Amino acid sequence: MPPPDALDVKCYRVESHQVVGTQPINLPHLNPLFSTLPTETAKFAALPPNQLCVPVSKNKQTPPDTVLPIIQYSDVLCYPIQGQPLNRPLTLTHLNPVLRGMGLPPENVVVTTTDKLCVPVAKNGFFPPGGSAGFGN
């Protein structure tokens, strides 16, 4: 698992015609802050994916060699979904040393509606070392 200050992502809009049906999917939270919440059943919105998020570094601050091989393959494709809102206020503190160095203060946000589910993908058949095995196998 990469340290939390080592992973930044940049998201791009994508155009696709591949539609996932309206199958329900169960989404339990893994983050300890929300892990006591009941498992949510969400539905794909019968629309194609709309975003691809890929790992990036900022200001030439490369993640440590111990986690770089993991982060390099942390691409996710995002699909519109319909699910329950979280409706939780949070205070978000930047973990990335570049942003902390810029003096950015904690941000108070309210997490509201569910609008997308992002899933791991390999690009152009380029899989992480060890093959294509991963979550859900």
Would you tell me how many other CB atoms lie within 10 Å of the CB of residue 108?
Answer: 9
Q: What is the arithmetic mean of pLDDT over 37-43?
A: 93
Are the CB atoms for 111 and 79 separated by under 8 Å? no
Tell me the two tokens of residue 4: 């939390």
d(CA 121, CA 76): 5
At 53-93, the pLDDT tens digits run: 999 987 777 888 888 888 888 899 999 999 999 999 999 99
Nearest CA to 53 out of 78, 89, 32 is that of 78
Cα–Cα distance measured from residue 108 to residue 128, given in angstroms and rounded to the nearest whole number: 36
Mention every residue, 6+ apart, whose C-beta is less than 8 A from residue 119: 76, 77, 78, 79
- Residue 35's pLDDT is 94
How high is the pLDDT of residue 70?
A: 80
Predicted pLDDT at 69: 81
pLDDT at 135 over 60: no
Average pLDDT of the chain is 87
